[in-house]
Amino acid sequence: MTPRPLPAADHNWWHQPALVLAVCGLVALFLTLLVPGSSFVRTLLTTATTGLSVLAVTRAATAWLHPSPRLLPYLYFLSALIGAVLGVAVNLLLRAHEGELATLLRRYPDIVARTFGVLVIIAGVVSALFLARDRNRRMEMAYHAERAKNAEQEKMLVETQLKMLQAQIEPHFLFNTLANVQSLIDLSPPEAKRMLGHFNDYLRASLTRSRDAHGTVAQEVQLLSAYLSILQIRMGERLRFAIDCPPELETLELAPMLLQPLVENAVRHGLEPKVEGGTVSVAFRRAGERLSIRVSDDGLGLGASSGDGVGLANVRARLLTLYGDDARFTLEACDGVTVTLEIPLRP
């Protein structure tokens, strides 16, 4: 039978021995005052040996055995009692070797009897303390497990909401794109062919990203490039875009389809209503140990592109679920709208 590993909380291993020695010191002082002429040092040695034996046997039993919660009280009591008897036996053998055992039994038989009675009481107290500590630890582990379960459920909920949002967005985008391709076939076959090429790239990147739990910056750049290229053909010269991503950042981890709602928000609410259109820029930068992503447009600003939109709210919720307090989301309005995301670097 192999011992189970000690919990992470046991790295302060000296806490329990220090507490045991402090209690043994108080017991030794009490016994010294109770027995006239007794030595405090000798009594302290006796109580300390007994206390540390109780601690050693109890910890060894809990480390090697795997009792059910129903049997824990009996295990703790029996371990504490065995440890107490072992500690007293060691001290009695030392006293017998020095010729003190016979004198002790002859002069203070009632004290010896009361000592064993006290040992039983101490064993019960120690077992109750260990049992309470074990229950507290189990409750703490259950609490953390429940928190982790709730966090995972919240993450799944956000991902489900994202997929629902994507399911609502994509049909509209797909039907518009197909309608544009159909109209371009008669007006400009080369443009129709070019749009179909970008549309194929977008579908391939979109399907791959939506099925992956993790992705890379390069994959997100590919998706955004295909998406904006389609919109650029539809809007003509009214839409310009630029994606700036240093090659060393392309292999970094990035959640799938995290940026598309931001780009779509910029085009739909910032640039499409503007007569002369404008430019969408996506820039990736490294800021220390964080990845900074800026999505900006020079459209109509917050008057048309509300910061409380479904897409932006979904991105905020997804960042909170994926990165917690390590992620930052800022929204600025200056000659358009700029959204900045900062997330931890994950290769």
Digit-coded pLDDT (tens) for 199-210: 888 777 776 655
Residue 34 has pLDDT above 90, yes or no: no
Predicted local distance difference test score (pLDDT) of residue 211: 56
Q: Are 297 and 280 in contact (CB under 8 A)?
A: yes
Backbone angles phi, psi at 284, to 5 degrees: -105, 130
Q: Are 311 and 338 in contact (CB under 8 A)?
A: no
Domain annotation for the chain: domains and CATH numbers: 8-146 (no CATH), 188-344 (3.30.565.10)
Predicted local distance difference test score (pLDDT) of residue 4: 43
Predicted local distance difference test score (pLDDT) of residue 6: 39
**b/e map 43-61, b = 16+ CB within 10 Å:** bbebbbbbbbbbbbbbbeb
How many whole angstroms separate alpha carbon 24 and alpha carbon 223? 70
| 331: helix, strand or coil | strand
Q: Give this prediction's pTM.
A: 0.53
Residue 99 has pLDDT above 60, yes or no: no
How many whole angstroms separate alpha carbon 330 and alpha carbon 64? 53
Q: Are 91 and 47 in contact (CB under 8 A)?
A: no
- Residue 126 pairs in a beta bridge with none
Predicted local distance difference test score (pLDDT) of residue 159: 67
Between the ranges 75-89, 155-169, 321-335, where is the mean pLDDT highest?
A: 321-335
For strands 278-287 and 239-244, give the pairing: parallel
The mean pLDDT of 144-173, rounded to a whole number, is 68
Predicted local distance difference test score (pLDDT) of residue 154: 72
Predicted local distance difference test score (pLDDT) of residue 284: 96
Predicted local distance difference test score (pLDDT) of residue 228: 92
Residue type, 239: L
**b/e map 290-303, b = 16+ CB within 10 Å:** ebbbbbbbbbbbee
Please list, in sequence order, all residues whose beta carbon lies within 8 angstroms of the beta carbon of residue 18, skipping any fewer than 6 positions away. Answer: none
Q: Is the dihedral of CA 146, 151, 154, 160 positive or negative?
A: negative
Between the ranges 1-10, 211-220, 287-296, where is the mean pLDDT highest?
A: 287-296
State the pLDDT confidence band at 307, using cuts at 50, 70 and 90.
Answer: very low
What are 101-132's pLDDT values in tens digits?
Answer: 556 656 666 666 666 666 666 666 666 666 67
The alpha-carbon radius of gyration of the chain (Å, integer) is 36
